[in-house]
Amino acid sequence: MAKKTVAGYRDASTKDGRNYAKVIKMEKSPKTGAYTFKEEMVPNETVKDFFAK
């Protein structure tokens, strides 16, 4: 018996995943000077606001 993938359980009529974007911002630590990465899932309308912070 074949296994279903996770995407197979999603309802095809709702496409909420297209309304969000995964954004990754690189930030430099003032204490150590090392870079860290901040990842978030944000709505498409707020992507520019995320990078403006």
pLDDT of residue 1: 58
Cβ partners under 8 Å of residue 19, min gap 6? 43, 44
Cβ partners under 8 Å of residue 12, min gap 6? none
Going from N- to C-terminal start, the domains of the chain cover 21-53
Q: What is the pLDDT along the chain (53 residues), one digit of tens a residue?
A: 566 565 555 555 566 668 999 999 999 999 999 999 999 999 999 999 988 87
pTM for this model (two decimals): 0.56
pLDDT of residue 9: 52
